[in-house]
Amino acid sequence: MRPHILTPLFAGLRTLDGIGPRLQTLLKRLLAPHAPGGEAKIIDLLLHFPASLIDRRARPKIAEAIPGQLATIVVTVNEHRSPPRGQHRIPYRVTCTDETGFLELVFFHAKAPYLEKLLPIGETRIVSGKIEDYAGRLQMPHPDYVVKPDEADELPLLEPVYPLTAGLSGKVARKALAQAIARIPELPEWQDAAWLRQNSWPAFAEALRAVHAPQSENDLLIGAPARARIAYDELLANQLALALVRKNLRRIAGRPTEGTGKLREKILSSLPFTLTASQIKVLDEIDADMREPHRMLRLLQGDVGSGKTIVALLAMTSAVEAGRQAALMAPTELLARQHLNTLTPLCESAGIRLALLTGREKGKERSRILDRLGEGGLDILIGTHALFQEHVDFKDLAIAVIDEQHRFGVHQRLALQAKSGGGGTDVLVMTATPIPRTLLLTHYGDMEVSKLLEKPAGRQPIATRAMPAARLDEVMDRLGSAIEGGAQAYWVCPLVEESDVLDATAAEQRYAALKKRFGDRVALVHGQMPGAEKDAMMQGFARGEISVLVATTVIEVGVDVPNATIMVIEHAERFGLAQLHQLRGRVGRGSGKSACILMYKPPLSDTAHARLNALRETEDGFRIAEEDLRLRGGGEVLGTRQSGLPEFRVAALPRDGELLAAARDDARMMLAGDTELSGERGEALRSLLYLFERDEAIRLLKAG
């Protein structure tokens, strides 16, 4: 149960005065990233911080007012002048004075009775707004505030400005926030007292109030004490939750798995290459984990072409040698079939029984696969999310390998683990996206991490060039010469069909143009095609029957055609840096020299220019990932925002990398001394977990 003290913060926005169904909908839209599918809450509003500040403290006389600046002036109302009848473009003017001069208040499309009531002739008013000079006369168009002298306290001299959504005014947002701020309870302190003093941070409630009442532009800075305190709270909640997940996973008993090495030796002897030092080191780490009595949860990250798949096979072979089973899960059917094609000859050489299960296997074929799986007649099952479905029951699942983990999410990972029948399946997750350290700590803090830092011998560097779209004919001419010489090429487009929204060349349109020029040697593959048709195209390309494969990003991961040496990426400025690096990695997989051509439509934004430059300068995926993190932020680097990764409301990476590292150390030390969070600070930290909606971690505590 959520602590009662947090109840005011988790009330719905309809509990605020003046918030009806319409405003509730607008506020939910504004706060949607943090209230998906549910009702926006008071805490969601409180964690929506101001982006800028309006300072109305300048109180000049009229003659001292400076055009272009905000001013708050005490004036006497002298005269109202309505525009001539029918001339709506001429504004309504109200002439005001003080002892130093004249000021005109200007209103377009005004209602005379309303303004006559707001600004009665002969009375004093305080007006606040931007001063302008019009033909030598000072004026204030549409004042932000007009108040009576005895209502001066209602005029905010320092006014925070919030990000808004269409239909929602700043005045409504500030009114709602004022009520929300009044509901902030005094919470128990979950931070270490010495750490607070060291950073000069206020208490949480005080920090929240300070964030919404900035006294200067400095208070809006990311390093301001109030903001930094709340960012650290959010990071600590994240790290504490991950540490509790890891602790729970290690507490649930696994089963030691140790192979004999006989099948592994057969596979190694059939390989046309020897393992790199990185591959050997990573295998040693995985073997050691699998021999332990608790479950393995390890992330294997390696750049494109670093040899993750063979490491995964050799790890799964240990399970088979021990008389148990293994599963390999891929995010797409295309990649699952690619894995099947790659692993089948290696498994046959060692006598390992292998099968594929995707949504396409139906009827008797599917039943036969499931029967063999349940009886132990299959050693390794490769599949897509179909492996999660009911009635997919292993006899004895020892290890699950998940490829491109960020496309699945934590809940699907746990669902696959549950297929072990309670026996504690070891899990190895793989990604070809090298992940910067700050993101590893945030998103994968519950895992051990292994890295493949070398590429297999014989890999050629990829020559990367950026070219404007105007040179399309030149690129086609060079492509024609290359395929006449036996080369194969990918041509990647960002869309399948022509779009009115994005001015991008569709894959189907480019396919038609290339087919007209090169005939039947051109094929098209994209995610909307039927699976069988997609497979046929890919197999034709792999066999060399197709010279140019026009594709969308469906070929981003896993596709392995060593003879393909040319990659053309159209509208490269529309792709993320990590995605461009993944696409480039589809070539350079054989012994021939390879090239990647990044075609772009000028003018390039500064970010797009930096992205293309980074790709031209290096093939090091870890350097590219760091640059991508700097340019785009964490969620985008790791994949789509629908992937189950946590997004932060206040903290941001890589900006808050130092705070993240401190939060990780704090969480580990806290759990080392108070494993159940039952002490005074531990109880307060439970409130922190609930506050940032890491409720799952609390359930793990209670379950343990």
For residue 200, the model assigns a pLDDT of 96
**Are residues 136 and 165 both part of a single domain?**
no
pLDDT surpassing 70 at residue 649: yes
In a domain, 669, yes or no: no
- Asked if 294 and 424 count as a contact pair (C-beta separation under 8 A), the reply is yes
What percentage of the chain exceeds 70 in pLDDT?
Answer: 88
CATH of the domain at 131: 2.40.50.140
Could you report the per-residue pLDDT of 427-466, keeping only the tens digit for each? 898 887 777 766 666 666 667 889 888 877 767 789 999 9
Domain enclosing residue 172, as ranges: 4-54+161-221
Interacting residues of 422 by C-beta distance below 8 A, sequence separation 6+:
none
Question: CA–CA separation, 643 vs 443, rounded Å?
Answer: 11
**Are residues 125 and 50 both part of a single domain?**
no
**Are residues 489 and 518 both part of a single domain?**
yes
In a domain, 91, yes or no: yes
> What is the maximal distance between C-alpha atoms in the chain?
101
Q: Which residue from 580, 574, 532 is spatially nearest to 556, judged by alpha carbons?
A: 580
Q: At what angle do helices 680-691 and 657-673 cross, to 10 degrees?
A: 130
**Are residues 66 and 10 both part of a single domain?**
no
Burial classification of residue 21, based on how many CB atoms lie within 10 Å of its CB (0-12 exposed, 13-18 middle, 19 or more buried): exposed
**Are residues 147 and 15 both part of a single domain?**
no
**Are residues 13 and 85 both part of a single domain?**
no
Determine if the peptide bond prior to 603 is cis (ω within 30°).
Answer: yes
Could you report the per-residue pLDDT of 76-110, keeping only the tens digit for each? 999 999 999 888 889 999 999 999 999 999 999 88
In a domain, 430, yes or no: no
In a domain, 101, yes or no: yes
pLDDT surpassing 70 at residue 183: yes
Question: CA–CA separation, 385 vs 388, rounded Å?
Answer: 6
**Are residues 172 and 71 both part of a single domain?**
no
In a domain, 267, yes or no: no
Number of structural domains, the chain? 3
**Are residues 68 and 215 both part of a single domain?**
no
For residue 704, the model assigns a pLDDT of 42
Question: CA–CA separation, 540 vs 612, rounded Å?
Answer: 31
In a domain, 587, yes or no: yes
For residue 141, which phi and psi values (nearest 5 degrees)? -70, 130
For residue 294, the model assigns a pLDDT of 84
- Asked if 239 and 664 count as a contact pair (C-beta separation under 8 A), the reply is yes
**Are residues 499 and 613 both part of a single domain?**
yes
**Are residues 43 and 170 both part of a single domain?**
yes
Per the document, the length of the chain is: 704
- Choose the final residue of a domain: 221, 247, 269: 221
- Asked if 536 and 524 count as a contact pair (C-beta separation under 8 A), the reply is no
- Choose the final residue of a domain: 155, 173, 188: 155
**Are residues 513 and 604 both part of a single domain?**
yes
**Are residues 41 and 93 both part of a single domain?**
no
Could you report the per-residue pLDDT of 40-77, keeping only the tens digit for each? 899 999 999 999 999 999 999 999 999 999 999 999 99
As a 3-state breakdown, the chain gives helix, strand, coil percent values, each rounded to 5, of 45, 20, 35
- Choose the final residue of a domain: 135, 155, 175: 155
In a domain, 526, yes or no: yes
CATH of the domain at 475: 3.40.50.300
In a domain, 583, yes or no: yes
